[in-house]
Amino acid sequence: MTRVNADVDPDDVPSNPSDNGHIRDVLSRRGLIKGGTVVAAAGFMTTGLAGAAAAAPERTKHGHHAKKLLGFKAIAPSTDDRVRVPEGYTAQVLIPWGTPISSKGPKFKKDASNTAAEQRQQIGAHHDGMHLFPLSKTSGLLAVNHEYVDTTLHYKDGDAVITKEKVDKAVAGHGVSVVKVQQGKHGKWELVDSRYNRRITADTPVTFSGPVKGSHPLLRAKNPALGTINNCSSGYTPWGTYVTCEENFNGYFGTEDTSWKPNTEEARYGVAAASGYRWHTADARWDVAKNPHEVNRFGWIVEIDPFNPKATPVKRTALGRIKHENAAVTESHGRVVLYTGDDQDGEYVYKFVGDKPWRLRKALGQSPLDHGTLYVAKFNDDGTGVWLPLKFGKGPLTKQNGWKDQADVLIRTRSAADAVGATKLDRPEWVAVNPGNKDVYLTLTNGAGNGGKANPRTPNPYGHILRWREKHGDNTALAFTWDVFVLAGDPAYDPTVKLGPDAIFGSPDGIGFDHDGRLWIQTDISNSSQTLASRGYDNIGNCAMLAADPKTKEIKRFLTVPRGAEVTGLTFSADGRSMFVNVQHPGEVSAAWGAPTPANPRVVSNWPDFDPSGRPRSATVVVTKKDGGKIGT
Ligand code: FEO
Ligand code: CA
Ligand code: CA
């Protein structure tokens, strides 16, 4: 996410004017919020989930009690400028920003003087979601999102002056990297030359598929369809492709034309004249007054085939246009189901359900992601919920109400979801599906943050994790039951938080399961709050990654990241013995540590190089166990 200054996190500012219910209202009506604080959820679970939580210890197929799921010794919170992991584990840095994707490519220059042309041949900035597509137990194609660039750290002279060359270098720092990685001698992973290695940037040709065609009048712009931007997190399909999510696309567009005003739909997505990046001042592509439809080409989920380096990325419009956080893909009855959250305060969570078994669509030469129905969630007061279809002609989405066709519904997904009465949530981030019982987990990172008085949870500065079970455990179902899996926070500030010192955390964001059923939780604490007592975050320390047992709710801190950074991205080697995570935006401007400048970019962090004349860089970290065991044991 784009942080232009440390005081305001733009995702925290809602742009949803609808009267739809808010999950806080639901929690309040259910007696779960008292005096603005969410209280323990024990005892309210209605069906299914209660049974799961109370289940007896799992037995192995041999009838013995299974080993404890979380076998490692938890680490303490940290404010160190480094990555920390438990005893018996090691963490290795892989592909930091600027690493050439070919051994013949341009080397990273530590003063950030690489050109745009060089950046196009290097790993992008601000690593986020990723997936390792295995080639063997110890090699694979790693697809990595590059969410944004830090305009202070991306250039030698900072961002006081914006030029076309600087816009081009930023554009090249965004997008996705696909690189072959393999585990060499001594267990170390490295990038290796491969015909698969490529960069997709905000300038790479793309196509549109599904109900919104590239030729749609609202998608016609002065330039051809190019690129993907603000690639937050991602997912992967059962047919071996990567799906990358465009999140805060609005922030790249702006104008100096004082007569320009956003229309209702532009305002609904937060498109405004002011842009922190100011790209529009050097490149008319990003000027909403001069090139008004370019912005409609963003906010989509983009499918990339990592195994075909010539394949053009495809924007799958049936999946809707929102600020997509991630894409959690599962299947039920052979049909693909894709969950995706819209990360802004007061937005919704969605799911797409394919209309036919995905293998059938593939056999017909069609994309399973082009044919199906998009739904948005409504969470009822009584612990039940329903999925409401965003289908032209259904419910309020009719001609009489001003809806033209399905393409219109999808370009204006947020307004369509408003119209059907979806439930507002506290910044929906990642979704994860338990591969065992198909329960679905959603991180809600934090709420409006209007508090800060007697109760720091006013309304929800720490976030929580929602969980639901689709009817009959069928992810295509249109009804579910839900509960709060965990309330994040620190009992020192909020006694209703039931987390011990090994487990306190705040602002959950990344979430995912490993093959053994451990639930991994990653945090992204805004740099307006990180480590600050005034925000109730001093005991929590830097951002962290924790492992949870979904049955017992035991949670243990596993990894902490350097100053200013968040931890994001989660994938494993085929044997489960190497875990890949991303350290994003180390050294970013921070209320606690200060502001980097072109003269001293190291004010907050100097990870991972610690070069006295270098600068902090986002990077992938590979965690392995010294005894060669599985991660988390
Ligand atoms: Fe890309 Fe919601 O963080
Ligand atoms: Ca995120
Ligand atoms: Ca976040």
pLDDT tens-digit map of 189-238? 999 999 999 999 999 999 999 999 999 999 999 899 999 999 999 999 99
Per DSSP bridges, beta strands 175-183 and 139-146 are: antiparallel
pLDDT band with cut points at 50, 70 and 90 for residue 186: confident
Mean pLDDT of all residues in 51-66: 41
Nearest CA to ligand 1 atom 3: 1
Q: Output the six-digit token pair for 342.
A: 């819209």
In the chain, % of residues over pLDDT 90: 86
Q: Which atom of ligand 1 is nearest to the CA of 524?
A: 3
Q: Which atom of ligand 1 is nearest to the CA of 11?
A: 2
pLDDT band with cut points at 50, 70 and 90 for residue 582: very high
pLDDT at position 151 is 95
Q: How far is residue 335's CA from residue 351's CA, in Å, rounded to a whole number?
A: 13
Distance 379 CA to ligand 3 centre (A): 22
Query: With b meaning 16 or more CB within 10 Å and e meaning fewer, what string describes 413-446?
Result: bbbbbbbbbbbbbbbbbbbbbbeeebbbbbbbbb
pLDDT at position 52 is 32
Q: Which atom of ligand 1 is nearest to the CA of 343?
A: 2
Contact 350, 332 (CB under 8 A): no
Mean pLDDT of all residues in 296-300: 98
pLDDT at position 458 is 59
pLDDT at position 9 is 64
Q: How far is residue 344's CA from residue 16's CA, in Å, rounded to a whole number?
A: 9
pLDDT at position 59 is 44
Contact 519, 432 (CB under 8 A): yes
Render pLDDT for 118-159 as a digit per residue (tens, 0 to 9).
999 999 999 999 999 999 999 999 999 999 999 999 999 999
Residue 573 CB: number of other CB atoms within 10 A?
23
**Of 37-41, 378-382, 397-401, the least confident:** 37-41
Residue 500 CB: number of other CB atoms within 10 A?
12
Distance 404 CA to ligand 3 centre (A): 34
pLDDT at position 8 is 53
Query: In which residue are the tokens 């990180």 written?
Result: 530
Mean pLDDT of all residues in 234-253: 98
pLDDT at position 13 is 75
Distance 591 CA to ligand 3 centre (A): 17
Distance 394 CA to ligand 3 centre (A): 33
Q: Nearest ligand to the C-alpha of residue 147?
A: 1
Protein residues placing their CB within 5 Å of the ion ligand 3: 445, 509, 524
Distance 525 CA to ligand 3 centre (A): 7
Q: Output the six-digit token pair for 490.
A: 């620190």
Distance 509 CA to ligand 3 centre (A): 5
Query: In which residue are the tokens 């994707």 written?
Result: 101
pLDDT of 39 over the 50 cut: no
Residue 238, preceding peptide bond in cis (omega within 30° of 0) = no
Q: How far is residue 350's CA from residue 484's CA, in Å, rounded to a whole number?
A: 18
Per DSSP bridges, beta strands 127-136 and 139-146 are: antiparallel
Contact 357, 450 (CB under 8 A): no
pLDDT band with cut points at 50, 70 and 90 for residue 29: very low
Render pLDDT for 589-621 as a digit per residue (tens, 0 to 9).
999 999 999 999 999 999 999 999 999 999 999
Distance 423 CA to ligand 3 centre (A): 20
Residue of 140, 166, 144 lying closest to 153 (CA atoms): 166
Protein residues with CB under 6 Å of any ligand 1 atom: 1, 147, 232, 247, 325, 343, 429
**Of 168-177, 254-263, 458-467, the least confident:** 458-467
Q: Output the six-digit token pair for 252.
A: 């790249």
pLDDT band with cut points at 50, 70 and 90 for residue 72: very high
Give helix then strand counts, H and E, for the chain: 8, 31
pLDDT of 43 over the 70 cut: no
Helix (H) or strand (E) holding 580: strand 578-584
The ranges assigned to domains in the chain are: 10-47+67-74+85-247+299-625
What's the number of CA atoms in the CB half-sphere (13 Å) around residue 341? 29
Q: What is the DSSP string of 533-561?
A: GGGT-TTT-S-EEEEE-TTT--EEEEEE-
Q: Which atom of ligand 1 is nearest to the CA of 247?
A: 1
In the chain, % of residues over pLDDT 70: 89
Q: Please, what CATH class does the domain formed by 10-47+67-74+85-247+299-625 belong to? A: mainly beta
Coil, strand, or helix at residue 234?
strand
pLDDT of 54 over the 60 cut: no
Contact 209, 290 (CB under 8 A): no
Query: With b meaning 16 or more CB within 10 Å and e meaning fewer, what string describes 517-545?
Result: bbbbbbbbbbbbbbbbeebbbbebbbbbb
pLDDT at position 462 is 96
Q: Nearest ligand to the C-alpha of residue 248?
A: 1
Mean of pLDDT over the chain: 91
Q: Which atom of ligand 1 is nearest to the CA of 325?
A: 2
Nearest CA to ligand 1 atom 1: 232
The radius of gyration computed from the CA coordinates of the chain, to the nearest angstrom, equals 23
pLDDT band with cut points at 50, 70 and 90 for residue 456: very low
Q: What global pTM score does this model have?
A: 0.91
